[in-house]
Chains A and B, each alone.
Chain A
Amino acid sequence: MWSYVVRRLIFGAILVFAATIVSFTILRMSPGEPGQAEIDPRMSQDYIDQQKKLFGEDQPPVRQYLRWLGVLKLVGADTTSGILQGSMGRSRMYDQPVAGLVKSRIGATIMLNMITLLFTWLVAIPLGTWAAVKQYKWPDKFLAALSFCGMSAPGFFLALLLLWIFCSHLNLLPPGGLRAPNHDMLNPVAQVLDYLKHMIVPVLVLTFGALAGLQRIMRGKMLETLRENYIVTARAKGLSTSKVLYKHAMRNAINPLVTLLGFQFAGLFSGSALLENVINYPGMGQLMLSAARAKDQAVVMSVFLIGALMLVVGNLLAELLLGVIDPRVTYA
């Protein structure tokens, strides 16, 4: 098994490396110079040249890429450290290290998606079980209709609708964002409450969207499990319905779902990107959009790298989890 993991990791590393090449190529193929948004007619040519030199933009593209990767420092051709040295470079637009930018944003995004993940699982598993037990009766039909709505309702529209109802009509929730204007003056408890208040709308929207799929899968697995012979045996030997359901059926039905967790791990980072931009939530999605607009090379490439890394790790996690819970799966 370990050799399998190592092989997958090596393959994943190659994929991530290729991803950086892809993102760099796309960036270089885009019209416009990196950092051109920062150029001001009042700047002297000397200053512009100096800035270009500082960010390495006077060098040929391949050299720029190697510089960002940190290979140049490794061979001693440059003094700036790159990814290999653990530095993600410097943002042209914000004029500060990318690591700092990412650090200030990544918490918000991961927090949002973690809460969503937790909510989705807590709600979807019981609902899916309920729908399976009441197959073809009204709860099943109602839940089917609800999941259809969840699958079909665009998240951005739902978010705007909720903001309209709860913010402008009922005045209960803040209008998007993550912090109230007076956030820094609040005491710690109120600060946490403030965060939570801002997260209600995005969490609701994301959960509603993700709920549909998970609930339907759970229902399907549960129905499959209920047809198994050991369930019939359990019933025949006189176990109560609840025991059969929760001790025997549900456990076995959840098992295959656990692999989904691995895939959702990747979504922690990029699942909410569009929504963040719509409700002005200061997360990675917003950072990426503004950086891509301004052709902020270092930021775009670093964010993309993290995203690809999460996906690779998430997929590997999903495969390994499957092996852990299902003894029939072996890794050669």
Chain B
Amino acid sequence: MPEPINPATSAQSPVASEAQVEARALVPLVPAGRLRIGWRIFRRHKPGMVGLVILAALYFIAIFADFLAPYSYENEARDLQWSPPTRLHFVADGHFGFRPYIHPKRSFIDEDFNIRQEEDFAKRCYLRFFVQGDEHRLLGVFQTRWRLFGVDPLAAAVVKTSGDTYYSRLYLVGSDTSGRDIFSRLLYGSRISMSIGIIATSIVLVIGLFVGGVSGYFVGPVDDILQRICEMIMLLPGFYLLLMLRFMFPASMDSVKIYFCVVLIMSLIAWPGLARVIRGMVLSVRTMDFVHAARAIGQSPLRIIWNHVLPNTYGYVIVSATLGIPGYILGESGLSLLGLGIMEPIPSWGNMLQKAMDIVELDQHPWVLCPGVCIFLAVMAFNLVGDGLRDALDPRQRKVQ
């Protein structure tokens, strides 16, 4: 589609007074582009906006996880394994206060050999904003110890006269098998899930757009070969292929390698779906006049594909990219859940759920299910936004929905 002529520049009469020029500067006469119209429609789509807000919050958390989490993801207290969520107390000496405090805890083994926990009600550890906690690099640059909130660091571990060690640790949703704070790990885990979808989608977009564009533009043997490859990959059972490809790489690598290995595998399986649809759209666009015109003035095929043909598919591409992200999030957590993805100690929402697969563990510490809620939330947010985007950018599908 050729760019519409911009009236703000072309329709300017040479005798425009200064006041008129000023008025023009205030009221933009630029015709609303497709993106702007799309945004206007999207803004009215309430579920989409809710999704967008959730996503913004999740990305904020992922970026500032270091600062927002009270503990680092590795900070463990082996004595407090599987500690239930810490109770926050607001009432001190019969008076209600807005400063919550917790009691220090210790764990012991009772006469039935159950691990039990006991609070020391005599001591109070107040929660504070801006405490010095585990060291971290904020945004990967600033080395600091400041964290948004936490227990007063002066009361980190309290030793009682009888020799028992009491810990004043804040577990908002409980602790895991080595006494690490699940809440902190959830925040850190968001980094994996929130980034993996974006990266995998970008790879799929690059391959899908290129293959789809080339395949649809050069009909003939190139198209045939590329289409057979697509069909081939689409005809392989996806989850099994995922497993086999995963085992092409060593089972234990360092986390960064595994992360990219998982991304690579998932995008390798996912691109044909996009490529095929793009091809179909390109097939219908390539016969239009502006493509003939571009060819007539001697533009190279790749340039025509990139500049003239593919922009017509952007509406669909943006929507399908957004709606594709949940699949990658679920794929990563599925692999991590089976112990094939991100490895301990790096937290990912998938590998944090591993313990929940054991019904005994699940029975005794149901808070291990929390990461699942996070996955649900993230996937839901992407689906909502994708749905809103479809209404806004893809008019062909709007009619049916």
Query: What is A's interface to B at a CB cutoff of 8 Å?
Result: 15, 18-19, 22-23, 26-27, 29-31, 148-149, 151-154, 156-157, 160-161, 163-164, 167-168, 175-176, 220, 223-224, 266, 269-270, 273-274, 277-280, 285, 288-289, 292-293, 295, 300, 303-304, 307-308, 310-312, 315
Contact = CB atoms under 8 A, between A and B. Distances in A.
A153 to B, nearest CB: 5
B35 interface: no
B235 A26 contact: no
A148 B400 contact: no
A29 B248 contact: yes
Interface in B219-274: 231-232, 235-241, 243-250
A15 B235 contact: yes
Given A30-B248, A152-B376, A156-B372, 14 more contacts: A22-B232, A26-B245, A30-B247, A31-B249, A151-B379, A154-B375, A156-B337, A160-B356, A168-B366, A273-B239, A274-B239, A307-B236, A308-B235, A311-B237
Interface string B183-216: 0000000000000000000000000000000000
A310 B238 CA distance: 12
B248 to A, nearest CB: 5
B240 A307 contact: yes
Contacts of B246: 292
B376 A312 contact: no
B379 A15 contact: no
B30 to A, nearest CB: 35
Nearest to B399: A224
Contacts of A148: 47, 380, 383-384, 387
Interface of B: 47, 231-232, 235-241, 243-250, 326, 330, 333-334, 337-338, 353, 356-357, 359, 362-363, 366, 369, 372-373, 375-376, 379-380, 383-384, 387, 400-401
B369 A160 contact: yes
19 contacts: A19-B236, A27-B244, A30-B247, A31-B248, A31-B250, A149-B380, A151-B379, A152-B379, A156-B333, A157-B369, A160-B362, A160-B372, A164-B362, A168-B363, A274-B334, A274-B337, A278-B337, A293-B247, A300-B244
Contacts of A304: 236-237, 240-241, 244
Contacts of A151: 326, 379, 383
A293 B380 CA distance: 32
Contact of A157 (B353, B359, B387): B353
B400 A164 contact: no
Contacts of A315: 235
B389 to A, nearest CB: 15
A308 to B, nearest CB: 6
Contacts of B333: 154, 156
A152 B379 CA distance: 5
